[in-house]
Amino acid sequence: MPKYLVLIFFLLCTFRGYSQVDSTKKVALDTTANALDSVKAVQDTVKKKETREERKARERAEKEREKYYYKDILKDSTRLAIEQLSTVAWKRSLLAPGWGQITNGGKYVWIKLPIIYGGLLTGYLTFDFWNWHYQKFVKEAAYRIDNNGATGDPDLEGYQSLDGLIRAKDNYRRYRDMTILVTAGWWGLNVLEAYVDSMLRFRYNIGDDLGFKITPTLLPTSALAYNMNFGRQFTPGVKLTFNFK
């Protein structure tokens, strides 16, 4: 009988050992499977990352939504037309000076156009003037360097020194370049004027009656002016009247 008990005890221990090994293997397999699932999930996330084309399409869609919505409120046709008028003017002036002013309209448009093109024409003539002198001095300096200081242009005989000739050439070049910058700034002012006029004309109602009036009047004089004007207590002046609405 004890032999059978020992055999049964031995079989139970053996079965328990195998079950522990199986449990350990099962835990290890489950851990490996979870790790593989995590790696796969990361790979899927990387694969599903937004591409450049998708990002551009999303940004275009957002801009398109902003065009027709303001704080999630759908804009009506009147608002869209006003925004179109207030943005197209400066773009047209950027392409062709005065085009935006014509788009805005108004009774002063035919005064603005001569001023705009007069400034651009003045810039071109000034540029041509300085550039002509610059080229003249450049050619003379090159001629003197190639011919051992001999004068080639009779108009520049007064410049005996080559250094003085080069300094004058540099000054004319600087004036020419500054003229280009000023002309570009004038072009920019034309674009800015078209933008501001379109915003004031279509976004804000300023009206034609600004409540501004200039009238002649008599102003009371001070004690010093009273003594100097021999008893006169008033002097002619101008009165400015503003009516704010």
pLDDT in tens, 85-133: 778 889 999 999 999 999 888 888 999 999 999 999 999 999 999 999 9
pLDDT for residue 127: 96
Say whether both 17 and 94 belong to one domain.
Answer: no
* Residue type present at position 154: P
pLDDT for residue 183: 97
Q: Which residues of the chain have pLDDT under 70?
A: 1-49, 63-83, 203-214, 221-234, 242-245
Q: In this structure, is residue 29 part of a structural domain?
A: yes
pLDDT for residue 18: 43
pLDDT for residue 17: 47
Taking the chain, what is the end-to-end CA distance rounded to the nearest angstrom? Answer: 119
**Residue 134 class from Cβ within 10 Å (0-12 exposed, 13-18 middle, 19+ buried)?**
buried
Say whether both 25 and 85 belong to one domain.
Answer: no
Token pair recorded at residue 43: 């790979």
CA pair distance 227, 219, nearest whole angstrom:
15
- Say how many domains are in the chain: 3
Say whether both 126 and 160 belong to one domain.
Answer: yes
**Residue 143 class from Cβ within 10 Å (0-12 exposed, 13-18 middle, 19+ buried)?**
middle
Distance of CA 244 to the CA centre of its chain: 34
* Residue type present at position 96: A
Tell me which residue of 82, 91, 90, 70 sits closest to 201, measured CA to CA. Answer: 82
Q: Among all chains, which residue has been given the structure tokens 């011919």?
A: 147
User: What residue numbers bound the domain in which 224 lies?
Assistant: 213-242
**Partners of 212 in beta bridges:** 242
Say whether both 15 and 103 belong to one domain.
Answer: no
Give the containing element (helix H, strand E) for 241. Answer: strand 234-242
pTM for the model: 0.54
User: What is the per-residue burial (b if ≥16 Cβ within 10 Å, else e) of 151-170?
Assistant: beeeebeebeeeeebbebbe
Say whether both 184 and 226 belong to one domain.
Answer: no
Each as own residue / partner, the long-range contacts of residues 94-99 (CB below 8 Å, 24 or more positions apart, any chain) are 94/191, 97/187, 97/190, 98/190
**Residue 179 class from Cβ within 10 Å (0-12 exposed, 13-18 middle, 19+ buried)?**
buried
Say whether both 219 and 136 belong to one domain.
Answer: no
pLDDT for residue 19: 46
